Amino acid sequence: MPVTSTSSQPQSSSKPKLSIKKVLIANRGEIAVRVARACRELGVRSVAIYSEADRYALHVKKADESHCLGSDPLQGYLSPHQIVNLAVETGCDALHPGYGFLSENAELAEICAQRGVKFIGPSADVIRQMGDKTEARNSAKRASVPVTPGSEGNLRDLEHAVEVAAGIGYPVMLKATSGGGGRGIRRCNDEKDLRSNYQRVISEATKAFGRAEVFLEKCIVDPRHIEVQVLADAHGGVVHLYERDCSIQRRNQKLIELAPSPQLTNEQRHYVGELAVKVAREVGYENAGTVEFLLDHDGSFYFMEMNTRVQVEHTITEQITGIDIVKTQIRIAAGEPLPFLQADISYRGFAAQFRINAEDPKNGFLPSFGRISRYYSPGGPGVRTDAAIYTGYTIPPYYDSMCAKLIVWNLTWEDLLERAERALEDMQIYGIRTTIPYYREILRHPQFRAGDFNTGFVEAHPELINYSIKRRPESLAAALAAAVAAQAGM
């Protein structure tokens, strides 16, 4: 039987009533904490799930109820039938998938529909359609949204790949049809690369996604990675919340995200927003989603993919627009129409999100899991931290290395950079290595400060990893106190 703990915190009776009364959060970490907080503000009860490895995780403490799904650190989070069964048993009328795990799993959405649990996201058909990258490309084409030149559908075999690549020219990107999160993607600079990588991508796709299908498209060298947040209700309302710049990334994994992009003109901003809305309308999208684009050096936008879930970086869009995306997700799932039109939405200032990863940049970004002996969260105007860590918490080695997100806002780009550097300095995490000092080096780089960067920035500047960690006097004192406490077994 599941282990359950229920908090004694009362629900306010003065909050507006939704048709959704109780939400199961099918996730862990900071996004589960984020959803639990949104539920609390809406007067909706929340239910957390956890593995034994997560028994002392923060999301377990923040939800109104928490239920253990077993000792395996991953199986419970990846078992759609078990999760929906628990939702039904606990009286939940909705389920929020967060991001990662089963968030873009059509089967989970289907089982929810079959069991009468509202899936807080798009329909299973839309998830399936946009999760297949060749189908997603076809949808963008039907919406008259430009896509990069590539294969028509999936590749038949290696020789077909060689033929297509010769037609569009190298370099090319070989991609798993069901890929995501930077997996199942290889750049091929010539035919030799293509022949050596073809079977590798097939193998990666099969292991990671259970499908061997791959396709090929022209590689846009060092583009800017621009994505647009969209919201759509069940009544035909579709809007965009402007764009985010995700160009600062390593091996297709985002590190720093910005909103809006300091690299776009207002004309480009409105144009790419309209493209994203076209894609959402074409597929009959409902709830929150993100349409991702590559921006070439000649100013051309190309559709890349659509993420059918809330994004890790939704926070910075919330900061510049004032719209709570997670609460809006729940309201849409409850059948409410969007409370605004496109003309009602504006943005103010600039925001940046830093993914605080438990990794050691100086050691090849190897994971640095372990016990956090001291944690100090930054504060002040325009500073927000979404985290699932606390002093004494042990980061388990089974999950993604991201342990917190630092979000900073300010009115101007220049002021944002100054505030971000101060907030990163204020954020102190002892006991593990993190990417914080590396981000401070990026912030100081003239090219980044000038707002002139692309997806090749990290690889082009390996010297930024040669940082030295300088602690302020109070930080040194805290470190010594942490060491003494640890030695004493406190």
The contacts of residue 255 (CB under 8 Å, 6+ apart) are 248, 249, 354, 355, 357, 435, 439, 442, 458
The contacts of residue 80 (CB under 8 Å, 6+ apart) are 102, 105, 107, 108, 111
Residue the block writes with tokens 């030295």: 468
Q: Are 262 and 349 in contact (CB under 8 A)?
A: no
Sheet holding 172-180, edge to edge: 183-188, 172-180, 214-218
CB atoms within 10 A of CB 338: 21
Pick the catalytic residue from 28, 183, 186, 309.
Answer: 309
Closest CA to 308 of 231, 255, 226, 402: 231
Helix 133-142 to helix 266-282 angle, to the nearest 10 degrees?
110
Query: Using CA atoms, how far apart are residues 421 and 423, in angstroms rounded to an integer?
Result: 6
355 is an active site residue: no
Closest CA to 104 of 120, 86, 128: 128
Cα–Cα distances (Å) from 144 to 205, 215, 277, in that order, read 29, 21, 12
Q: Is 296 helix (H, G, I), strand (E, B) or coil?
A: coil
Query: Which residues are tagged catalytic?
Result: 309
